[in-house]
Chain A
């Protein structure tokens, strides 16, 4: 609904007119409330207006670190504002509440009447009143993050070195900020007031272990210290930060993440009851001291405290939604479980982490030198799980957290994976166990999603239950539950390729590679049954192409190929083909453009520019393909492989050669990449993009591999795609030189080709990989599996044996025979479909047009086809 203020500024008088709910604040809590109201208020009892001072549509604050690393769009998935009953006002702040008149006024001077008022104003980051603090920034909003990223880039250019960033605060947010900025090309240091990191969640042993890991990432720690002053030079640029021990730490940028304070200023002015340490006091019904005013999220003070987590914010929003519609839901408890979202650093805790409950026992494994620490807190009989802390290896966290308060079936030590314990946690989760605390999804909800909604894939299960869609820490558990349920249901996590092969694509791929099987018949005899089908044949053709490059239609492999590969062209709806020559990087000379124009004219082809910066010529008959390609190959073109599950194109912007903003030659890099990876076959087609600067005109982040120029080199993004489930590529590594860029792409692509499922795009493959982008980074960048050299060698082998499929076809009369229209009339045109003129070209006629005698058909066919029966 449009942002029409007048329409939302009136209050219903009485009777049946909908009541007006005004929500102040547009964070996750407000979003959840609006969403819950739009889905539940079927009777139309309410009108909702949400007022937020931020310019951005409500976004996922929890995921800010993704924006820090890769400029992700964090807008929350659903948009309740599209409903006619919800109005969203952005960029305006509420400055006053009049409880008598039941209105709020905003900075822009609007006054809005309400029947029910919900305060969801969240928190602000606390900044201590020290000298020079006005030169520091906080880490709280999208604007903060965007500013920090730009500032690091700006400083890097103006200083000619990595800027130094000092982060005050060694808690979850401080660590996230320091790690993210370090990855963006800064040298980060952390000051923390306690003697160890994450002191709010971790005990000393765990905090020390975490310190080891953080230091090993090159982040300097100043513990048991606080900033005293921020020093600047005459021009106002930050030079250093003075600590309480009077030490001066050099810094170019200072970020405060030392705590948050509820934004209760409006409520205070309105005389509502405020908690001792701030925040609006609410009861289990989420009402404040005024029965018509509610508070949800971080601004709400429940049982004496405000909680800086999204799970209780969501839960409170649901309670208020229920109550506004006459329900009696209650908010009862806060789940404090947390997991640090910093890649390469595993930290998680839940429950009574400090064993403060009476009789609580601790079972600890600590190896501070290796940065490993795991602890379970259990009841005095060592049976009931009360809490846990994990540093360095948080693998047991996802499975154990839902068992909080439940009986363990084994000795607690058996759950500590770092102690070499082998007992995998297989306690059956009770239906009531909370799996996703952010969205309050229980094991029972997930089972219902699987059995009742039929969500038997991780992606759809996440969407339909919402589990794992916010902080993501429960995804491994959701996956495990899914597999467990499917196995129980006898659906036996079916990875079988098809009815002819019971193995998964990956298993088959490895076996074929190890046994060096070279033909479909051999593979079928060994591992399969029957004669194959349109699923396994192309899949195996693709594997054979990956292992043994070589002409794809020879050696009995012709009949395995999918529709398009079979003709080395793309079949269209009328049985004709389209032809796409490769135009590397989208760069083409006028002379070559003229060749395409002439070929299309001579063969009567319809032409269209594709989404991949190439030219597609439509309407060629099978028997015309060799003649068309002879002309193209003679003019220096080669196959664009638009027909293959292979590299399609590398899209590029014009880059530094012409563009005023460009910092690298994106066209040259795009051509280099396209020529390197052309002909590479994979489980699914894939595309690259290269942009010459952060403006990203090539939309590289919508590609499987996206390369974006920086002042220092290239940022490499992976796993993006367009299509029906668009995904942004994620940052794999930053500021790479040309060689490192190519090395990582080599490894990434081969790793994908070897391990992905049939027809699985890179985005879905990474979603399903345990560990996702972090795992990929370990394998590709850190070479944790020691596979780097092997993966590079496999790519080198492919590159060495590349040949243009069309040139190879034209050179061999045997191969050309495959393009005859009829075995007994090789050049008789086979197309029976007539065409009609449209916009200076022609297209296939529709069935209605053919049936309509008034249609002007361009060309009928002289070929015999079955007369009507």
Chain B
């Protein structure tokens, strides 16, 4: 049974993150070898309604917005329960960065940044994020091998 991943120092991630949501691609850092896994047709997802998917040996939560697509871990960082895809998707105003996309844990409502995985309400928590892309209308998620 998997232990939810926690990173004690999310701030270092913030400094080095590089993402470009306009290209439908979220980038989150991670070490080791990764691979792109096709998951499902884009048409399967409803905007604003997150869904769980299996990507390799990972349970991921897919979030589609009008022109953005995110994949984060489906495991709630706080409890380890597989529930993140059932959280509410929204946004959070950030200094100088406009509205940043978020997802709230459905259990205890911690709010995470969909692009960086940082937790707004508890800095010790971190939600793992994966890069996504769409190839021939099929969603692919990049996960560790």
Q: A575-B83, A850-B1, A866-B58 are in contact. Are A534 and B111 (CB under 8 A)?
A: yes
Contact B52 A821 (CB under 8 A): yes
Interface hub of A537, A823, A830 (most chain B Cβ within 10 A): A823
Q: Please, how many angstroms separate the alpha-carbon atoms of A869 and B30 in the complex?
A: 12
A474 to chain B, nearest CB (A): 37
Question: Is the CB–CB distance between B54 and A531 below 8 Å?
Answer: no
Q: How far is the CA of A484 from the CA of B57 in the complex (A)?
A: 58
Q: Which residues of B contact A574 (CB under 8 A)?
A: 79, 81
Is B89 engaged at the interface, CB distance under 8 Å to the other chain?
A: yes
Question: With a CB–CB cut-off of 8 A, which chain B residues contact A126?
Answer: none
Question: Which B residues are CB-close (under 8 A) to A531?
Answer: 65, 89-91, 99, 101
Q: Which residues of B contact A868 (CB under 8 A)?
A: 2-3
User: What total of chain A residues lie within 8 Å of the partner, measured CB to CB?
Assistant: 47
User: How far, in whole Å, are A860 and B2 apart by their CA atoms in the complex?
Assistant: 12
Tell me if B81 and A530 are in contact (CB < 8 A). no
B134 within 8 A of A: no
> With the chains together, A820 CA to B45 CA distance in Å?
12
Known: A823-B51, A824-B40, A864-B57. A533 touches B90 (CB 8 A): yes
Check if A832 sits within 8 Å of B82, measured CB to CB: yes
- Residue of chain A at shortest CB distance from B51: A823
Given contacts A563-B106, A566-B86, A864 and B54 within 8 Å (CB-CB): yes
Q: Does B46 contact A (CB under 8 A)?
A: yes
CA distance A342 to B93 in the complex (A): 50
> Which residues of A sit under 8 angstroms from B11, Cβ to Cβ?
none
Check if B81 sits within 8 Å of A573, measured CB to CB.
Answer: yes
- In the assembled complex, the Cα of A537 lies from the Cα of B49 at a distance in Å of 12
Confirm or deny: A822 has a beta carbon within 8 angstroms of a beta carbon on chain B: yes
**Cβ 8 A contact of A563, one of B3, B62, B107:** B107
C-alpha spacing A390/B122, complex, angstroms: 54
- The reply on B127 being an interface residue by CB < 8 A is no
Please determine whether A866 and B86 come into contact, CB atoms closer than 8 angstroms.
no
A824 touches B53 (CB 8 A): yes
Task: Tell whether B87 is near chain A: CB-to-CB under 8 Å.
Answer: yes
Give the distance in Å from the alpha carbon of A523 to the alpha carbon of B48 in the complex. Answer: 15
Which A residues between 525 and 544 are near B, CB-CB below 8 angstroms?
529-534, 536-538
The answer to whether B59 has its CB under 8 Å from any CB of chain A is: yes
Q: Is B109 an interface residue (CB 8 A)?
A: yes
Residues of A within 8 A of B5 (CB): 866, 869
Say whether B116 faces chain A, with CB atoms less than 8 Å apart: no
Name the CB-closest residue of B to A537: B88
Question: Does chain B have a CB within 8 A of A358?
Answer: no
Q: Are B90 and A573 in contact (CB-based, < 8 A)?
A: no
Is the pair B3, A534 in contact by a Cβ cutoff of 8 Å?
Answer: no
A534-B57 in contact (CB<8A): no
1/0 per position for A848-864, CB-CB distance to B under 8 A?
A: 00100000000011011
Report the minimal beta-carbon distance from B111 to chain A, rounded to whole angstroms.
7
Highest count of chain A CB atoms <10 Å: which of B40, B49, B82, B111:
B82
Question: In whole Å, how far is A208's beta carbon from the nearest beta carbon of chain B?
Answer: 59
Q: Tell me if A861 and B1 are in contact (CB < 8 A).
A: yes
Chain A: CB-nearest residue to B52: A822
Q: Are A573 and B79 in contact (CB under 8 A)?
A: yes
CB nearest neighbor in A for B110: A534
A556-B48, A823-B40 known; A575 vs B82 contact (CB < 8 Å): yes
Within 8 A of A (CB), among B65-87: 65, 73-76, 79-83, 86-87
Whether, in the assembled complex, B115 has its beta carbon less than 8 Å from a beta carbon of chain A, the answer is no
State whether A533 touches B104 (Cβ < 8 A).
yes
Decide: A823 and B88 in contact? CB cutoff 8 A.
no
Closest to B101 in A: A531
A832 to B1, CA, bound (A): 7
Q: Which of B54, B58, B111 contacts A824 (CB 8 A)?
A: B54
Q: Which A residues are in CB contact (< 8 Å) with B45?
A: 823
Bound complex: CA A861 to CA B102 (Å): 30
Among A500, A575, A868, the most chain B Cβ lie within 10 Å of the Cβ of A575
| Chain A positions 792-835 with a Cβ under 8 Å from a chain B Cβ | 818, 820-825, 828, 830-834
B40 & A533 in contact (Cβ 8 Å cutoff): no
Across the interface, do A864 and B59 meet the contact criterion of CB distance under 8 Å?
A: yes
> How long is the Cα–Cα vector from A254 to B139 in the complex, in angstroms?
84
Q: Is A865's beta carbon under 8 Å from chain B?
A: yes
Q: A18 contacts the other chain (Cβ, under 8 Å)? A: no
Q: Verify if A571 is at the interface (C-beta below 8 Å from B).
A: yes
Contact call A865/B52, Cβ cutoff below 8 A: no
Chain A residue nearest in CB terms to B103: A534
| C-alpha gap A833/B3 in the complex (Å) | 11
Report how far A825 CA is from B60 CA in the complex, Å.
Answer: 12
B39: interface (CB < 8 Å): yes
Cα(A832)–Cα(B82), bound, Å: 7
Determine the residue in chain A with the shortest Cβ distance to B32: A869
**Is B95 on the interface with A (CB-CB < 8 A)?**
no
> Nearest residue in B to A562 (C-beta to C-beta)?
B88
**Which residues of the other chain, B, contact A530 by a CB distance below 8 angstroms?**
90-93, 99
- Kindly identify which residue among A499, A823, A867 contacts B52, using a CB–CB cutoff of 8 Å: A823
- The verdict on A865 contacting B48 (CB below 8 Å), with A529-B99, A531-B90 known, is no
Cβ proximity bits A488-503 to B, threshold 8 Å, 1 near / 0 not: 0000000000011000
B82 contacts A534, C-beta separation under 8 Å = no
- Measured between beta carbons, the chain B residues less than 8 angstroms from A573 are 79, 81, 107
Question: Is A571 a contact partner of B82 (Cβ separation < 8 A)?
Answer: no
Is B44 close to A, CB under 8 A?
A: yes
A867 touches B86 (CB 8 A): no
Q: State whether the Cβ of A412 lies closer than 8 Å to any Cβ in chain B.
A: no
Q: Taking the complex as formed, is A612 at the interface, i.e. its CB lies under 8 A from any CB of chain B? A: no
Q: How distant is the Cα of A666 from the Cα of B8 in the complex, in angstroms?
A: 58
Alpha-carbon separation in the docked complex, A867 to B57 (Å): 8
Contact between chains at B88 and A499 (CB < 8 Å): no
B residues within 8 A CB of A831? Answer: 82
Which chain B positions have C-beta within 8 A of A566? Answer: 86, 106
A558 contacts the other chain (CB 8 A): yes
Q: How far is the CA of A865 from the CA of B107 in the complex (A)?
A: 19
Q: Does A567 contact B (CB under 8 A)?
A: yes
Given A530-B90, A567-B86, A824-B40, CB of A559 within 8 Å of CB of B49? yes
Selected A-B contacts with CB under 8 Å, 26 pairs: A499-B93, A529-B99, A531-B65, A531-B89, A531-B99, A531-B101, A533-B88, A533-B91, A534-B109, A537-B90, A558-B46, A559-B47, A559-B89, A563-B86, A571-B83, A575-B83, A622-B86, A822-B59, A823-B62, A824-B39, A830-B52, A832-B1, A832-B82, A863-B59, A866-B5, A868-B2
11 new A-B contacts at CB < 8 Å, known A532-B91, A832-B82: A563-B86, A571-B83, A573-B81, A822-B54, A823-B40, A830-B59, A831-B82, A864-B59, A865-B82, A866-B73, A867-B2
| 6 closest A-B pairs by CB | A559-B48, A533-B90, A531-B91, A575-B81, A563-B106, A865-B2
